Amino acid sequence: EPDGTAILDALGRFTREDVSLLQGIADQSAVSLHKSRLYSASITDRLTGLHNSRYFEDTYYELVAKAVVENKPLTLSLVDIDHFKQFNDQYGHKAGDFILKSVAQCFQDLKRQGRGDHCYRYGGEEFCVVMSDTPVDEALLQLEEFRQKIAAQEFDYNGKILKVTVSIGMAQCGYHSKDARVLFNLADDALYECKRNGRNQVRICKPDAETKETTETKVG
């Protein structure tokens, strides 16, 4: 029975069994590669190249659980492009897609090498950033720098200069909550406060030690 080692016949040629074995290996490799590409496509946002909401759901809860078990900080940030619907209405959806791709590239530049940063396009103009082993105050510096970069950026779209701003809500696993769903809701609440108070800012959700109520720290 073939064991994967090529055996030549008396004339130095592969035997029929060897050819069949090699063909089988090639077929299996092709199937594995195809499955890998399908999976990669299923977790990647086609427009921006960032991971999509499906991959966020697949990984976020695991990342939070790992942070809880290891007693390490993890910061979740929810990012929204301000007034994006009005932007699309004014400049068109192609310009909107251009901005989404440009902001996504800025997210790629934000990621720190070897620090376990994850960036996702959650849907529409909404993005999520998970920074493992990172306290919220440290993440704040990174995201505030990101906010300022977006606000100052002049995006050149077919010779037309476009400008946008972003709002960012943040919460830290362990400090605000160890529950992944609660943490997401707290970050979402902080993002809502950004929108309610003028947008183009970063807000951290912070519990008051005495009242146990949620307050907000604004930057920007």
Tens of pLDDT along the chain (220 residues)?
555 455 555 556 667 776 677 777 766 665 555 455 555 668 999 999 999 999 999 999 999 999 999 999 999 999 999 999 999 999 999 999 999 999 999 988 888 877 889 999 999 999 999 999 998 889 999 999 999 999 999 999 999 999 999 999 999 998 899 999 999 999 999 999 999 999 999 999 866 443 333 444 555 5
Domain that holds residue 2: 1-42
Is 11 in the same domain as 74?
Answer: no
- Residue 150, in any domain of the structure: yes
- Residue 47, in any domain of the structure: no
CA neighbor of 126 nearest in space, from 41, 64, 56: 56
* Residue 174 confidence (pLDDT): 86
* Residue 211 confidence (pLDDT): 30
Count of the separate structural domains present in the chain = 2
- Residue 48, in any domain of the structure: no
Pairing verdict, β 202-207 and 74-81: unpaired
Is 210 in the same domain as 180?
Answer: yes
Is 77 in the same domain as 174?
Answer: yes
- Residue 22, in any domain of the structure: yes
* Residue 209 confidence (pLDDT): 40
Is 125 in the same domain as 213?
Answer: yes
Instruction: Enumerate residues 6+ apart whose C-beta is below 8 A from 54.
Output: 42, 43
Is 69 in the same domain as 30?
Answer: no
Q: Give 107-142 as a 3 state SS string.
A: HHHHCCCCCCEEEEEEECCEEEEEEECCCHHHHHHH
* Residue 220 confidence (pLDDT): 59
Q: What gap in Å lies between CA 100 and CA 112, rounded to an integer?
A: 21
Is 70 in the same domain as 15?
Answer: no
* Residue 110 confidence (pLDDT): 83
Is 108 in the same domain as 175?
Answer: yes
Is 134 in the same domain as 29?
Answer: no
Is 91 in the same domain as 148?
Answer: yes
Which of 1, 57, 62, 125 does the annotation list as catalytic?
125
* Residue 213 confidence (pLDDT): 38
Q: What gap in Å lies between CA 170 and CA 17, rounded to an integer?
A: 61
pTM: 0.78
* Residue 210 confidence (pLDDT): 34
Is 33 in the same domain as 105?
Answer: no
- Residue 154, in any domain of the structure: yes
Is 138 in the same domain as 208?
Answer: yes
Is 81 in the same domain as 19?
Answer: no
CATH number for the domain harbouring residue 129: 3.30.70.270
- Residue 95, in any domain of the structure: yes
Is residue 1 flagged as an active site residue? no
